[in-house]
Chain A
């Protein structure tokens, strides 16, 4: 007969085993990139060889920086992602606040519209914009690319923030009105500080979404506005031969490092942002 205590121990071991396996599965693909990026390309015989760094080199990274024109693409990525965050916040924070204030039929109509826009496939925005830009001479401008990003971010951000604003009790603002606050004070000084963590979460998620975006960039970036996601795919042709995967891995590591650092450092905010809206539509 197994005692309840042993049973609990066994359960704990089993659970940690399952979680450990899942952890390996979760981080193995990026880990392989890291391993391959620091090994000489001649080596790739088995994953184990790579993970043990048997032929350590930093040559792949210098190739990625020089031949891959890393800084050119990096600059575009940083500019587009930062601009997307700033504009999305300026537009969506007041908008979501306003939406959480109105009531009744108007509220359900507008929130339905916002939610519906979240379902739009990217390609249905990218194709007509591409045709327009090519023929208006706008192809290859960062502003044009940014506009497409905003078409995705604004509905997403508004939808995500409503939940945060809805959780602020109306009594708080009633007290503000008695104290003689203007509408702007009510928004800026009374309510906004309460939802600060939601705004931070949103800024991080929008940055990650813009940083990772590829489809719009492929369609709309021309040759001047290409971000890192386009920069890396330029190597894929040569990689068919398998000769370039060390450089590709190094490039990949450079592209995903910022977002992984974000995910770990700002974990609390990402968790709160991703689950916002899970409880209600």
Chain B
């Protein structure tokens, strides 16, 4: 008989109840989503369900609007990824310098965009930043004699505006993780680099960036998952418009499932998002293990 205090037995006693609960809470809706996705089912005609197989998925793939939503989501996600990593690195580098005073205070204030309610952030950007006539962006551009586009009313600029607004919300995470990593790089490493004749750019490229690789991977995956499923910010910023220029997959699934009441279609769009993310998760875990092994 195993000792109830043995590490393993103890662990399972504490783990099991939560594990069962979590599996139920998450997998029941997920399985229901899959079930509805292979049926013809409408919102207020729940009792008339007919099995369709993969017909909803095939219809989605042939639907130019689904392809458009997939394209918009990809551009949106990649845009947020690039912006938040680049800006996050830049700010973290500046902040981690020993010349900077009151570093914890700066960091605390930089966190604000991350906790601001995304729906409210969308409202703030829409009415006070991107607004064509009096918005901050065009007022600042005006000082430099720049153009004054109707940011949210034109197809190309609306997507750019959505990417910038959402990156505003996500960059603090990147700053925080990179900053925490940078402050743990021992000074000896830089001194060694200096003795070997490395300039600031070289030590950045050959010492700092390689050390940040696992952190960049971590930030990337958080930003990718968050941006890929983003709904709130875009919903209050543009509502998916103009036309379908910012209709990401989450909004498209809402559109089909609830606005059009075609729940079979809505659920197959949502479930296709889950499949895409599952593949991304698998890639991430594989790559991450390799990077960590490489470190050791």
A residues touching B (Cβ–Cβ < 8 Å)? Answer: 8, 11-12, 15-16, 18-19, 22-23, 25-30, 32-33, 36, 44-47, 91-92, 94-95, 97-103, 110, 112-125, 127-132, 134-135, 147-148, 150-151, 154-155, 158, 170, 173, 177, 181-183, 186-187, 208, 211-212, 214-215, 218-219, 229, 232-233, 236, 239, 245, 248-249, 252, 255-256, 259-260, 262-264, 267, 270-271, 274-275, 277-281
Alpha-carbon distance A202/B116, docked complex (angstroms): 17
In the assembled complex, 27 residue pairs joining A and B whose CB atoms fall closer than 8 Å, in A order, are: A11-B97, A15-B94, A19-B95, A26-B109, A29-B168, A94-B15, A95-B14, A98-B14, A101-B7, A121-B274, A125-B26, A125-B33, A127-B33, A127-B257, A128-B30, A128-B33, A154-B26, A214-B118, A229-B117, A236-B236, A248-B127, A255-B120, A256-B115, A260-B116, A264-B108, A271-B107, A278-B181
The reply to whether B124 and A120 contact each other, CB–CB distance below 8 Å, is no
The reply to whether A33 and B109 contact each other, CB–CB distance below 8 Å, is no
Name which residue of chain B comes closest to A211, CB basis: B117
Alpha-carbon distance A83/B21, docked complex (angstroms): 16
> A218 to chain B: which residues have CB within 8 Å?
235
The reply to whether A278 and B180 contact each other, CB–CB distance below 8 Å, is yes
Flag whether B57 is at the interface (Cβ < 8 A).
no
The 3 closest A-B pairs by CB, nearest first: A95-B18, A98-B15, A101-B11
B271 CB to closest chain A CB (Å) equals 6
> B180 to chain A: which residues have CB within 8 Å?
271, 275, 278
Flag whether B177 is at the interface (Cβ < 8 A).
yes
- Of B113, B119, B124, which one neighbours A32 at CB under 8 angstroms? B124
The reply to whether A158 and B22 contact each other, CB–CB distance below 8 Å, is yes
- Of A11, A110, A267, which one neighbours B111 at CB under 8 angstroms? A267
A120 and B277 contact, Cβ closer than 8 Å, known pairs A95-B19, A95-B22, A275-B177: yes
Total cross-chain contacts (CB, 8 A) = 312
B residues touching A (Cβ–Cβ < 8 Å)? Answer: 4-5, 7-8, 10-19, 21-23, 25-26, 29-30, 32-33, 35-36, 41, 43-44, 46, 90-91, 94-95, 97, 99-101, 104, 106-121, 123-125, 127-129, 134-136, 139, 168, 172-173, 176-177, 180-181, 214-215, 218-219, 225, 228-229, 231-232, 235-236, 249-250, 253-254, 257-258, 263, 266-267, 270-271, 273-274, 277-278, 280-281, 285, 288-289, 292
Most buried by B among A131, A183, A218: A131
- Given contact pairs A33-B128, A102-B12, a sample of 10 additional A-B residue pairs in the complex whose CB atoms are under 8 Å apart: A23-B109, A36-B127, A97-B14, A121-B228, A124-B273, A155-B26, A208-B115, A232-B123, A236-B236, A255-B117
> A122 to chain B: which residues have CB within 8 Å?
229, 231, 250
The reply to whether A22 and B91 contact each other, CB–CB distance below 8 Å, is yes
> B106 to chain A: which residues have CB within 8 Å?
19, 23
> B229 to chain A: which residues have CB within 8 Å?
121-123
The reply to whether B11 and A99 contact each other, CB–CB distance below 8 Å, is yes
The reply to whether B111 and A115 contact each other, CB–CB distance below 8 Å, is no
A174 CB to closest chain B CB (Å) equals 9
The reply to whether A12 and B99 contact each other, CB–CB distance below 8 Å, is yes
The reply to whether B111 and A46 contact each other, CB–CB distance below 8 Å, is no
The reply to whether B273 and A123 contact each other, CB–CB distance below 8 Å, is yes
- Of B121, B219, B250, which one neighbours A123 at CB under 8 angstroms? B250
The reply to whether A125 and B236 contact each other, CB–CB distance below 8 Å, is no
A262 and B115 contact, Cβ closer than 8 Å, known pairs A18-B94, A29-B168, A127-B33: yes
Alpha-carbon distance A224/B106, docked complex (angstroms): 41
Alpha-carbon distance A66/B7, docked complex (angstroms): 57
- Of A11, A26, A119, which one neighbours B113 at CB under 8 angstroms? A26
At the interface, is chain B mostly helix, strand, loop or mixed? helix
Name which residue of chain A comes closest to B178, CB basis: A278
Alpha-carbon distance A112/B29, docked complex (angstroms): 20
A183 and B128 contact, Cβ closer than 8 Å, known pairs A11-B97, A102-B11, A252-B123: no
The reply to whether A27 and B123 contact each other, CB–CB distance below 8 Å, is no
- Of B30, B112, B121, B128, which one neighbours A47 at CB under 8 angstroms? B128
- Of B13, B35, B129, B271, which one neighbours A29 at CB under 8 angstroms? B129
The reply to whether B13 and A128 contact each other, CB–CB distance below 8 Å, is no
A154 and B22 contact, Cβ closer than 8 Å, known pairs A26-B113, A123-B270: yes
> B12 to chain A: which residues have CB within 8 Å?
98, 102
- Of A12, A33, A124, A187, which one neighbours B33 at CB under 8 angstroms? A124
> A19 to chain B: which residues have CB within 8 Å?
91, 94-95, 100, 106
Name which residue of chain B comes closest to A229, CB basis: B119
The reply to whether B112 and A263 contact each other, CB–CB distance below 8 Å, is yes
The reply to whether B129 and A233 contact each other, CB–CB distance below 8 Å, is no
Alpha-carbon distance A46/B137, docked complex (angstroms): 11
